[in-house]
Each structure stands twice: as structure tokens, then as C-alpha cells.
Structure 1
Amino acid sequence: MVKRVLIIGGYGNFGSYIARSLASDPAIRLLIGGRSVEKAERFITSLETANPAEAHRIDIDADVGAALAAMAPDIVVHTTGPFQTQDYRVARACIEQGCHYLDLADARDFVAQIGSLDAAAKAKGVLIVSGASSVPCLTAAVIDHYLPGFERLDRIDYGISAAQQTNRGLATTSAILSYVGKPFEMIRDGRPHSVFGWQDTHSERYPELGRRWFGNCDIPDLALFPSRYPQLQNLRFAAGHELAILHFGTWLLGWAVRTGLIQSLAPHAERLLRIAFLFDWMGTSRSGFHMYLSGQGKSGGQKTARLFLIARAGHGPYIPCMPAILLARKLARGEIDHVGATPCLDLIGLDEYLAALKGLDISVMADSVHG
């Protein structure tokens, strides 16, 4: 039986990647939703679909329940951010409608507290998954893959470096800018420690990409991982622009927020995004992800495991979109029995995740060092 999969924001930045990946699946009929039916219809003409796609108007700030009742989706993929300023109205509407729900949220509290809907989701027999994206799905999958090789995992240090010449949406920009210069907690020396967004500037040298700069970013992992991996003494996630001039420009603006000269950068997201586009000629379409795990190995010595993902040709956005793509396919085929509300943990293993990236211009590089 063909399942109706609604992508909210289906013609947008991440939604379009997910739609193109699911379009040819014979088990799926795509419903492309957004505030503009005209944009949805134009986007549908660019798709090669196994089943006829549909264009629908849906506004998450309006009556989502009525819209879902009219469309009758089996699965909803919510891609319209920023999630830092949203509540669970879309997820609740999906529970009431009796359809599964996936989102690409990167907001710390939004993802970490999705379990508050668990009882309601179980009562309706639906799966509600938040954070079906790089964080926490990919990051936890990497840790879980390497964890059996550690007697004690002490430190996790990881980050994402975005390509300058890639699709950058206003919602993602607003999400990042919402915490630039603002305080939040990371685990340092086994205790919560206050840090500031886009500060603690440091660089990492990537294979092929060379040196990239990073600053602190607030993500769901920082709330989820201390209890999931209780031996951790240090946990740091960071992100950065490909171009140093933009990275340090954001760093300076972060200081303006930290010192109170600017309350928040989020209201200025559209203008700052337009400025960033002016520098595209200086950049590339290559993005990167790195994760370093260190601690005591099984033999008693120091052990470090490292993993890099290098994405070229603008394929970087497929990495955060892949969990939603994989889960939508599984749900459409009835391959997931789990119901309830959960962050996107323990649903996709690292091997499955990386196998899904094959065919894209994305390389995986990994090694382990024993002291």
C-alpha cells in the first residue's frame, strides 16, 4: 500500500533534498506542503516521481490540525525551522491525526524534551521522532560504533564546517544566530560549564579541506549525551564557516551580543545571510564533519578514534537529511514497530547511515590511535 508522506517545507532548503530522494520510491506518494501552493506546484514539476505528487498549502502558525485532516498523510516530515522558537503543535497535530512524525530539529530543548509526548504517541500507536538529522542521530551513531573499543570514554570533540557555496536557508541561519554570543552549558571536567555561542575559537585541519575555524554551538547532544554516556568528562560541539573572514565576523558580532550591545542576532538573519552570499565567489562547495573520541582503551592505554566526512559538489546537506529519508522509507514499508516520542537515537546505525550516502560525492575517513 502506498503511503502518503507530507513534507512541510518540501520546496525549501532541506525539504527539497528529502523530496528528491523520496520521489522515486514506489511505496511513497509525496505531498509537498508550504505556505505557497504555487511554489509547491512548480517544485513538483521538477521531480521524477513513482506516484503522482500533490501540492498543499500548510502554515504551521495556523490550524495545522485542520490542514492535516484534509490531507490525510500517513507520515509527516517537518523541515520548517527555526525550531528554537517553536512548540510541539505540529507533532501534537500528527498524534491527533494518527500519523507518524519526523523533524529535522536542531534546537536543544525542543529535541531533548520530545519525550513529553511519549504517552500520547503510544496511545495513538504512532512514532514521533525529533532531531532526525546529523545531531543527534549521526553523532550518537558514530559514538555507539566506536564505544565498544573503549574501556572508558572521556572526551568527545566534534564539529561541522559548512561549505560557502551550498544552499543556506534563512531558518538555519536564524537558528544559529539565536545563540551566537549567548550562554549555554557544555560538560567540562565532568561538570556543566557555561560557554558562549561561537566563542572558544579553535581550528581543525581536515584531509583535503585544510584548516577550518570553529566556535561553540548549542545542539541537542549537549543535553542528551551526558546521561547517555555518563563517563564523559568533556563534550564539545562546534561549527564554523568555510571562510575565515565570515567566521571571525560572526565571532565579533557574538561579542556584541555577549557585552549587551546587541540583544540577539536572530532578527538580523536575513540581512546577514544576504551579506554572506556576497562572499560565495571566495569559497567552495566542500563541507566537512569531524568527530574525535578519546579515553582509555581495552588494553589500558590511551585511545583516540577519529572520523571525517568530506562532502563535495554541494552534497553536504544530504548528510543532515539522511535520517529523515531513511526513517520515512522504513515507516512507509512498515519496517519500524516502535511507537512513542523520542529523540532520533538508536533508530539508525552508523553502517546504515554511511551506506545511504554512497552514490553521493561524500568520502568517509576514519582511524584509531592507541597509546
Structure 2
Amino acid sequence: MRRILLLGGTGNFGTHIARRLAGDPNIQLLIAGRSRAKAESAAARLKAVNPAEGHEMDMAGDLAAAFAAARPDLVIHTVGPFQGQPYRVAEAAIAAGAHYLDLADARAFVTGIDALDERARAAGVAVISGASSVPCLSAAIIDAFRPRFGALSSVDYGISTAAQGISGLATATAILSYVGRPIRQWRAGAWRVTHGWQGLHGETYPELGRRLFGDCDIPDLDLFPARYEGLQTVRFGAGHELALIHLGTWALSWPVRAHLFPGLDRIARFLLAAARLLDPIGTGRSGLHMILGGTDEAGAPKTIRFYLIARQGHGPYIPCVPAILLASRFAAGRAFTPGARPCLDLITLDEYLAALADLDVSTFVLENEDRRH
């Protein structure tokens, strides 16, 4: 039986991961949070096959000692925002001889994780960062459709959140941290500077209609130009179901860009509360799209559009899938390869979508349709 520690196990992502793993007879869950009472209460509510434990753990405290006492085989780190966060959790996991996964989508955090590679290999453990929608799912989509191209030259994609499934404070803070700030992106075969939540553009989804997007900073922007030979453009955008919220954030990006305001992450709690007042007019439907462009084997232009639509507020569960799948595999006896790396080449698109089968999620694929966006 594997002891799996969920750091942030009482939060949105941690709670969902715990529910999905609670029925696995090969897993004993350790629910960790800042409050022992809340952690123990969350552990008791799980009614897990193997009774879960509640642990009090402070991110600013002595994590090495806490991990040594808890004796985890695997640590799953869900406590964001990861922007600007050091590698204290991963380092403590290595010291405890435990494998490590995180749900980070912070560019520098995920792309810099190989700094721990030598230490992880020496300890015989895996340190995997970005076990989330990006770069795990985004890379899986490209890998699934790339064989249909003779040459792949561009990927243009985005995630649009639902009003009723709006993210928690940590996720909102992470997004707001780069609104109005410079972002280095690979465009037309060269590095160019854009700004967070600017580059306003839209995409029309099946079922959802038109959603707005703005440029955002994610690990893929560094990882994909190096990973996919011949790729000339990588653009990622984030957006909100309600145009009012999206355009309001876009308007607020300009004072940040002009250095008139230090950053929207400083008022994330207020902005999140304001956005939640509009929940009643939302639909609870979120979406992900990816437009892959290039040529076929004969050199003719080719475009594939992939859409994923989540209903009933199920969108926030999608980033949890990699951690759930990898933890389940580990508990079933599938070994991790030691070393530190981003979460790439570990989960296929088919495996990812199969894990969403019990959610209200659909996918659509359109090939060579000329659509304005």
C-alpha cells in the first residue's frame, strides 16, 4: 500500500484528487493542510477504503521534518500560486525519499524543475512538475494530431473558464499575477514580447458560441518551440465565459502595463469576489480549444481544430487528471523513472479523455474548416 500525501488536500484541487483516489485499495491518503482540524475532518469525510490521515503542514514551516514524520511514498503538491514559489516542497520530498508531483502552471517553475534532476536521481525519486492542463494535456493534444501533418507550423490555443465554475483564490492570483506584464512568446519564428491579457482575440466554439481570450504566460511557451521541430508560432490565451469580466480584466491590464499599478494579484481577493457576484448569469460551461496549422504530406495547407467542452462546472476537475492517473499507476506498481522533469510524454490524449468519462465533458474535432477566429 502506497502512502500518498496531498499537500493542500483541503483545497479545490486536493479535495477532488482525494475523492478520486479514496477508493483505491492500494492507496492510503494523507490529507495535509494548514489546519489539523480541517485536515482530519476532510480525511474522515472521505470514507476511504484505507482510512485517510489528517496532517497539519505549513508551507513556511519545516517540511522536511513534516514529511519524515508522515512517511509518504508520493507527495502531490496542489498549493498555488506557483509563480515565484521556490522548490521547498520538492526538495523536502527528495530528502524524505518520496516521489513528487505538482499541478504547477507557472512558466519559470515548471521549466526550471530540471535544476533538481541530479538530486532526484541520486535519491532514486521522480520529481514531475506541470501535471496539469498545461503542459501535460496541451502536449498530449499536439502529440495525438501531429502525425496527421507533414509539417506542423503553429499551435494557437486557449482555456475559457465558466462563471459558475470559477477558480479559487490561488488560481485567480496566479492568472492576475501576469495581467499587463510582459510575456515572451514564440511568434513567426522569433521571440517577441506581448503583455498579459492583451492581444485580445476570440474563438467560436461548438455549443458555447464565441469566447474572448487574452495572452497568458505558461510553461508551454518555452517548452514547445524546443519540443516540436519546425514550429513557428505558439500562442496561448485564457478567457472567461462572461465578456464583461474578460473585458474588465483587459481594461485593468493597461494601468499595469503603464506601471501605474503594481499588479492585479495584489487585489485578487477583491476581484474574485466581484466576479463571483456574476455567477448567476453564467452557464457553468468552460472550454479548451487548440488550432493546429501546417501542411499535409503533399504540402497542401492543413488545419485541425480540437475543442473540449465541460458542463455543470466540471471544468476545474480537468487539471487534476494527471495527478490522479500517475498516482493510481504508482500505487498499482508502475515505477517512476528517477529524475526531475516537466510532465511530458507520461499521459496520452486517449488516456486523459478516458479519465474524464464520468464527467459531463465532450470533444469535437474539425479538420480543414476555414473559420474566422
> Match for residue 168 of structure 1?
167
CA RMSD of aligned residues (A): 1.1
- 2:143 maps to 1:147: no
- For 2:42, the aligned partner's letter is F
Once the 2 structures are TM-superposed, how far is the Cα of residue 48 of structure 1 from its aligned partner? 3.1
Separation in 2 of the partners of 1:337 and 1:258?
Answer: 43
Alignment check: 8 A CA contact 1:129 1:341 kept? yes
Is the CA contact 1:287–1:312 (under 8 Å) kept in the aligned structure 2? yes
Q: Structure 1's 186 and 91: CA in aligned 2 closer, same or farther, altered over 3 A?
A: same
Q: Distance in 2 between matches of 1:238 and 1:48?
A: 39
State the match for 2:365 in structure 1: 366
Deviation (angstroms), 1:369: 2.0
Are 1:305 and 2:304 counterparts? yes
Deviation, structure 1 residue 370: 8.1
Q: What is aligned with 2:9?
A: 10
Identity value in percent: 57
Distance in 2 between residues matched to 1:48 and 1:283, nearest whole Å: 33
The superposition leaves residues 209-258 of structure 1 with CA deviations (integer Å, 9 ceiling, x where unpaired) of 11111000100000111100131111100000110110011001100101
1:367 to partner: Cα distance: 2.8
C-alpha displacement at 1:11, in angstroms? 0.9
Cα distance in 2, alignment partners of residues 117 and 290 from structure 1: 33
SS of equivalent to 1:165: coil
Post-superposition Cα deviations, 1:274-313, rounded to whole Å, max 9, x if no partner, equal 1111111111111100001010111221111111111011
* CA distance 1:260–1:17, shift in 2 (3 Å): same
Q: Is the 1:308–1:366 contact (alpha carbons within 8 Å) kept by the matching residues of 2?
A: yes
Equivalent residue letter for 1:317 = P
Q: CA deviation at 1:46?
A: 2.7
Map 1:95-134; keep pairs closer than 5 Å. Answer: 95-134=94-133
Compute the displacement of 1:332 (Å): 1.6
Which moves more between the two structures, 259-268 or 73-82? Answer: 259-268
Q: Is the 8 A contact 2:105 2:130 kept in 1?
A: yes
> How far 1:167 sits from its partner (Å)?
4.8
Work out the CA distance in 2 between the residues paired with 1:370 and 1:55: 52
The alpha carbon displacement at 1:171 in A equals 0.6
Contact 1:101 1:129 in 2 (8 A): yes
Deviation, structure 1 residue 333: 1.9
Distance (Å, rounded) in 2 between the aligned partners of 1:186 and 1:119: 29
In 2, the alpha carbon distance for the partners of 1:9 and 1:62 equals 14
- 1:139 and 1:176 mapped to 2: Cα distance? 18
Match of 1:79 in 2: 78
| 8 A Cα contact 1:102 1:130, kept in partner | yes
Q: Which residue of 2 aligns with 1:186?
A: 185
Where 2:46 maps in the other structure, the secondary structure is coil
| Partner residue, 1:265 | 264
Tell me the SS of whatever aligns to 2:203. Answer: strand
1:45 and 2:44 matched: yes
Deviation, 1:45, is: 3.3
Are 2:185 and 2:234, in contact at CA under 8 Å, matched by a contact in 1? Answer: yes
CA contact (8 A) 1:5 1:76 kept: yes
- SS of 2:30's partner is strand
Give the Å deviation of 1:337. Answer: 4.0
Distance in 2 (alpha carbons) for counterparts of 1:219 and 1:370: 28
**CA distance, structure 1, for counterparts of residue 65 and residue 301 of structure 2:** 57
Contact 2:152 2:295 in 1 (8 A): yes
Alpha-carbon separation, structure 2, partners of 1:300 and 1:344: 32
Specify the code of the residue in structure 1 equivalent to 2:85. Q
- Aligned-residue offset at 1:119: 1.1
CA distance in 2, matches of 1:46, 1:164: 28
The 8 Å contact of residues 303 and 370 in structure 1, kept in 2 or not, is answered as: no
Query: Given that residues 125 and 336 in structure 2 are in contact (C-alpha distance below 8 angstroms), is that contact kept between their aligned partners in structure 1?
Result: no
Alignment-derived partner of residue 58 in structure 2: 59
Is the Cα contact below 8 Å between 1:297 and 1:370 reproduced in 2?
no
Structure 2 CA distance for aligned equivalents of residues 15 and 267 of structure 1? 24
1:221 aligned partner: 220
CA distance in 1, matches of 2:335, 2:246: 41
Where 1:262 maps in the other structure, the secondary structure is coil
How far, CA to CA, are the matches of 1:295 and 1:256 in structure 2? 37
What residue in structure 2 maps to residue 338 of structure 1?
337
- The residue that corresponds to 1:244 in the other structure is 243
Q: Which amino acid aligns with 1:342?
A: R
Gaps (5+ residues) in structure 2? none
Letter of the 2:167 counterpart: R
2:278 is matched with which residue?
279
Contact 1:215 1:240 in 2 (8 A): yes
1:301–1:370 CA contact under 8 A, matched in 2: no
Following the alignment from structure 2 to structure 1, what is the Cα–Cα distance between the partners of residues 56 and 45?
18
SS of equivalent to 1:50: coil
Q: Secondary structure at the match of 1:261?
A: coil
Amino acid at match of 1:226: P
Distance 1:60 1:245, change over 3 A: same
State the alpha-carbon separation in 2 of the partners of residues 290 and 222 from structure 1: 16
Q: Which secondary structure state, in structure 1, belongs to the residue aligned with residue 150 of structure 2? A: strand
